[in-house]
Structure 1
C-alpha cells in the first residue's frame, strides 16, 4: 500500500456539473486527504465556502461567452460550440494540472471533458493517475443500453451491427470533425501522435479508473464501458446546514396550493420560448408556477398572478413542496426530482437530456416532450397526462426509496481511496 495521494478534483460547466464533484471533494477532505478543486471562477465562492482549496480553471468572462452561444443547446451543434478554438485552453488545463500536481503522486478526479487534459498531463508525469467520473449513462458510449443517439431515438430491436454503423456515422459527421483537429494540433505541439478517429473512445481511454455517478437501476453498467469501473449513485450535494429557500419563494409556497416548478438549467440563456409556454400553461390550467432562471429576461415582463420568478432556489428544499417539476433533463435536476418523489415533465434540448428523459419515463415517474415541440398547447396536454395519473405519485415514492440503498459519497470515497493507495 502507498501513502494517499493529492486528489485534484476538476470540473467545468454549471451547477449541475459542479455539485457531484463538490460532494466527492468534501468527502475526500473529511478523510483528512489533501484535496484541490479546479472549477470555473463563477463557482469559486461556493467551493471556498465548503472549506476546500480552490483554483479557477475558467474565467467568469469565458464561462459566459460559452453560455451566450445558442448553439451550445443545439443537439447537433453543441460539441462544435463547446470545442471550437479551445487549443490554448487545453494547453492551459494541462499546465495547470502539472503545476498543481507538482511532480508528486496525485489522482485527478475529473469531468469527462477534462480527461483530455488529464491524459496529456499524465503523459508528462507518470505519478499522476486519472479517474473519469461520468454524471449520466449516455456520457459513456455503448452499443447495448442505447436509447438515444443525441436527439435520435434508437429502437430496442435494432441489431448491434446497425447500432455500430450509427455510431460511426455520428462520429464522422458530428463529433470527430469538430473535436479532433484541435486536439491533434495540441498533441502535435507536445510531440504526441495524432488521434485518427474516435474522439469519444479516446476520451474514455484516458482514465485509469472510471466511476459512474448514477445508480445501476438508472443506468446499468454495460459490457462495453471502460474498465475498471466503480458503480456509484447520484452524488447529491445539499449545501450548507443553514441553507434556506429565498424569502419570496417561502412566502409563495405558504400562500397557496403546491405549485409547479419550471427550471431549464442554471446556465441556459436561450430558453425564453419554453418559459413563456410554461407561463401560458399555468394560466390555462389555473396552477401556480415558480420559474427558476438566473436570466430574468427569458420570462414575460409582467408575470400573471400565481407565477413567481426566482433566480435560484435549492431544489432539495423546494421540490418536496411542489406538485410537479418541468425541466430540461439535466442529470442533477433529474436526480433531485427522483429524490423528492415529484412527477417530472422533461423537456430535453441537447446533450444527455434526451436519454435522461427516456429513463425518467421508463421508470414511470414522468413524461418527455422535446423542448422544440414544447408550445403551450402540447405542454398543457402533457402536463394534464402527467398530473391525472394517480399511480405515478405512488411510483415516484417507490423510486425515491431506491436512492437510500445506493452507494453514498462516503462509500465511493472509501473505494477511491483504496484504489489510489493500491499499487
Structure 2
C-alpha cells in the first residue's frame, strides 16, 4: 500500500485533523507518516503512527509563542519564521519522502510542495479554515472589523483589489521560499501563503461544509471533505463525569489549545457569569497551574482538559475562542455558542457561525461577567438559537471528514503518475 507523508505545523489544533486522516489511512492498510515539529513526537508515536521531525520546532505551550501568535503581527512574524527555516524544513521533509507515494501539505508548510515538485511526487494541499481561500466574493473578516464589513458591501470588484494588495504586501515575508524554489530549478509560482499553497491535483477543505460555499475565485479541484473529528487521546476526567451526571447540562468555557495559555481574566469572568445567569459551568483551564482560577462558586468546575467530542454534546451552550477544531466540535454537538475570537482565522470563523444563527460574538476586550451572562441568557432563552444549532448539528454530524479525505487521497494515488507536479 501507499506511503503518504502528511506535513503540518502549528498548534494541537493544526495537528489533530492530520492525525485523524493518518489513523484512517493506517486502518485502510496504507503507511502514513506525520511530519511536524519535534514537540509532537511522543503524542504521534503513542498512537502507533510514524513520525518525522521537521523544523522550525515550536512549543505550543510556550507563552511567548502564544502571545506572538495571537498578536496583530502574529501572521507576519510566524510566516517570516517559517520562511527563514525553509532550507532546514526542505531537507527534513525531503528525507521523510524517500519512499513516499503522496505528499499532503498544510497551509504553513511551504517547503513541502517544493519537495513534492522536485521529486516528481503527487501532492494534495489542505486548508483548515475558509479564510485560507481569501475570496473576493466572500471577503474574510479581518481587523479593523468595521472596515472589512465596508469592503464586503462594496462588492467583489473592490474586495478583489484588497485581496491583491494583501498578496503583494506579504511577498517579502516568503522571499526565502521563492529563492529556494529558483535554486532548485523549479518554475516560478505564486505567493506560497496564498495561491502558491494549492496543489493543481486536489485541495481538501477540512472544515464543516456549512461554513463556506465554493466561490468563483477558489482554486480548481477543491474537495470539501467536512470536518475531521479527532480531539486527542485524553479521556473524560472522573470528577467531570460525576459533575455532569449530578445536574442539568452546563455551559462549557474553553480557549482551545493556544489562547488557554494566556487567558487573562477569562475564567474568572466566566465563573461569575455562570452565577449571574443561573447556570452551571465547566471551565477547561489547560495545564497551566498559574492560570487555574480559585474560589469557584458552587455549580462551576474547573478541569485541565476533556475531549470535546464527548463533552460538548452534554453542554447547554459552549463559549470558545473559535479555533476551527473547537468550533467544528461545537457545531457537530448542535449547541448554541458564544464566540470569543482572538486572532488569525478566529474572527472570520466567529462571523460565519454568527451568520448561521447559532452563535453570538463577544470580543476578548469586552468579555466581562455581566455582558457574558446576558449573552448566555439570550442563547439559552431564545429558541431560535437552539433550533438552528440542532439542525446544523445534524448536518455536520453526518460528515465524515477523515473518510472523505482518505477517499480523495486514494483517488489521487490511483490517477497520478510520478511526474513533476
TM-score, length-normalised on structure 2? 0.88
Cα distance, 1:313 vs structure 2? 0.5
Cα distance, 1:48 vs structure 2? 2.2
8 A Cα contact 1:118 1:206, kept in partner: no
The 10-residue stretch of structure 1 (413-422 or 310-319) with the greater mean CA deviation from structure 2: 413-422
Q: Give 2:114's aligned residue.
A: 120
Q: Give 2:104's aligned residue.
A: 109
Structure 1 stretches lacking a partner, 5+ long:
none
From the superposition, tell whether residues 215 and 301 of structure 1 become closer, same or farther in structure 2 (CA, over 3 Å): closer
| 1:234 counterpart (227, 235, 238) | 227
The 10-residue stretch of structure 1 (388-397 or 146-155) with the greater mean CA deviation from structure 2: 146-155
Q: Give 2:276's aligned residue.
A: 284
Structure 2 stretches lacking a partner, 5+ long:
417-421
Q: Give 2:75's aligned residue.
A: 79
8 A Cα contact 1:261 1:289, kept in partner: yes
Matches of 1:409 and 1:89, distance apart in 2: 30
| 2:158 counterpart (155, 162, 165) | 162
Listed as ranges, the matches of 1:196-345 within 5 Å are 198-205=191-198, 208-237=201-230, 244-268=235-259, 269-294=261-286, 295-345=288-338
Q: Give 2:419's aligned residue.
A: none
Q: Give 1:422's aligned residue.
A: 415
Matches of 2:330 and 2:60, distance apart in 1: 27
TM-score, length-normalised on structure 1? 0.88
SS at match of 1:287: coil
SS at match of 2:136: coil
SS at match of 1:235: coil
SS at match of 1:54: strand
User: Does structure 1 residue 55 correspond to structure 2 residue 46?
Assistant: no
Q: Give 1:180's aligned residue.
A: 174
Q: Give 1:346's aligned residue.
A: 339
User: Does structure 1 residue 68 correspond to structure 2 residue 60?
Assistant: no
Cα distance, 1:163 vs structure 2? 0.2
SS at match of 2:153: coil
Matches of 2:188 and 2:175, distance apart in 1: 9
Cα distance, 1:341 vs structure 2? 1.3
Matches of 1:213 and 1:291, distance apart in 2: 27
SS at match of 2:241: helix
Matches of 1:252 and 1:77, distance apart in 2: 41
Matches of 1:320 and 1:309, distance apart in 2: 18
8 A Cα contact 1:150 1:352, kept in partner: no
Cα distance, 1:247 vs structure 2? 1.3
From the superposition, tell whether residues 60 and 298 of structure 1 become closer, same or farther in structure 2 (CA, over 3 Å): farther
The 10-residue stretch of structure 1 (29-38 or 59-68) with the greater mean CA deviation from structure 2: 59-68
From the superposition, tell whether residues 313 and 405 of structure 1 become closer, same or farther in structure 2 (CA, over 3 Å): closer
| 1:135 counterpart (125, 128, 131) | 128
| 1:91 counterpart (87, 104, 110) | 87
Cα distance, 1:342 vs structure 2? 1.2
8 A Cα contact 1:136 1:352, kept in partner: yes
SS at match of 1:82: helix
Listed as ranges, the matches of 1:399-418 within 5 Å are 399-406=392-399, 408-418=401-411
From the superposition, tell whether residues 332 and 377 of structure 1 become closer, same or farther in structure 2 (CA, over 3 Å): same
Cα distance, 1:67 vs structure 2? 5.4
Matches of 2:269 and 2:171, distance apart in 1: 36
8 A Cα contact 1:11 1:21, kept in partner: yes
Matches of 2:159 and 2:84, distance apart in 1: 35
8 A Cα contact 1:266 1:293, kept in partner: no
Matches of 1:133 and 1:61, distance apart in 2: 21
| 1:29 counterpart (8, 26, 31) | 26
The 10-residue stretch of structure 1 (334-343 or 144-153) with the greater mean CA deviation from structure 2: 144-153
